[in-house]
Amino acid sequence: MSAPTVRRRRLGGRLRELRGSLTLDDVAERSGGKFGTHKLSRLETAKVAAKQQDIDELLSLYAELGREIDDELRAALLALTKESVQRGWWHSYRGVISPAYEDLISLEAEATCAKCWQLGAIPGLLQTSEYAREIIKATAMSDDIQAKVDALVEVRLARQAVLTRENPLKLWVVIAEGALRTRTADLSVMDEQLSRLLAMGKRPNIDIQVLRSDAPLHVGQVGSFSILGFDDHNDLDVVHTEMLTAAATYVEQRQEVAMYRDAAQRLAAVAESVERSAEMITEIRKAL
């Protein structure tokens, strides 16, 4: 399932609020046929990108129906509509990355924080170019992916700009110890990767914890996941998971997202502290 952009979801949420107690049929009827129930539903659920003219006319309709829509609110929602269809840098890689991967990059670009659990690999946002190359090649399940390795490495490194932008993404990760002990043909690849973890872990917006391999059974053994958060807009949080047979799966239902938040807290509780984790990474690096 492809995830709608955050801007589209925010816009849809505001449209639902403005509709209030009116049903979709009510709005469709009072619009004189301009807006059908199917179209209204798709706008509110962010299943389709909105056109500014449609939003402008819909806001005018809601104003006629007694909703408080001042010039500031109208301008904000129209700006949100325009921004929701703007092209990001990743669009130049269409044909290389899947639509689901585009959605992930878009979500990362708009998120303010991310909580990640990685069972078998270093998180993509913290990978070096050579480690990224090795993991992409190792997990490629088609010749098509193998042919795009160089471009996919470029994309993975470009994603990492969210960590060093003016208002950087706040990243918290828990990494299974086994992922740190992965052996590559060239040991310098893991040496460089572990060094990068230590360096990035010193940044104020990044916390790295290690979950020891001898830890008791835990919820993270079901699989890796990332929670992308948006400050006060908890209803917009999205969980991203990966599977072998699909580019990605997104979880957006509030109750299900809450379960992943609980899982992240449990993992943080059983993992080593940030300080002890840095010591473990240093010890593992020295033992290479």
Best CA proximity match to 138, nearest among 128, 149, 127: 149
Which of 83, 109, 129 lies at the terminal end of a domain, its last residue?
Answer: 83
Residues 66 and 110 in one domain: no
Same domain assignment for residues 117 and 44: no
Evaluate whether 117 touches 173 at the Cβ level (below 8 Å): yes
In a domain, 91, yes or no: no
- Tell me, what's the pLDDT at 86? 74
Q: For residue 179, is it within any domain?
A: yes
Question: Tell me, what's the pLDDT at 10?
Answer: 80
Residue 90 lies in a domain: no
Total number of domains constituting the chain: 2
pLDDT of 101 > 60? The answer is yes
Tens of pLDDT, residue by residue over 103-141, are: 899 889 988 999 999 999 999 999 999 999 999 999 888
Q: Are residues 125 and 259 in the same domain?
A: yes
CA atoms within 13 A on the CB side of 251: 16
Average pLDDT over the chain reads 91
Choosing from 50, 83, 116, the residue where a domain stops is 83
Sign of dihedral through CA atoms 127, 133, 137, 138? negative
pLDDT computed for residue 252 by the predictor: 84
Pair 131, 269 in one domain: yes
Q: Is residue 89 part of a domain?
A: no
Q: What is the CATH number of the domain that holds 10?
A: 1.10.260.40
- 152 and 278 share a domain? yes
Does 76 lie in the same domain as 115?
Answer: no
Q: Does 156 lie in the same domain as 59?
A: no
Q: Is residue 175 part of a domain?
A: yes
What CA–CA distances, in Å, run from 262 to 23, 158, 209, 259? 35, 30, 17, 5
Among candidates 87, 10, 83, 9, which has minimal Cα distance to 52? Answer: 83
Radius of gyration in angstroms for the set of CA atoms belonging to the chain, rounded to a whole number: 22
Residue 246 lies in domain: 96-286
At 118, list the tokens.
């990685």
What's the order of all strands across the beta sheet hosting 170-176?
A: 206-211, 170-176, 113-118, 225-229, 238-243, 246-251
Mark whether 256 and 153 lie in a shared domain: yes
pLDDT of residue 8: 84
Q: Do 78 and 102 fall into the same domain?
A: no
Please indicate, yes or no, whether residues 148 and 262 belong to a single structural domain of this protein. yes
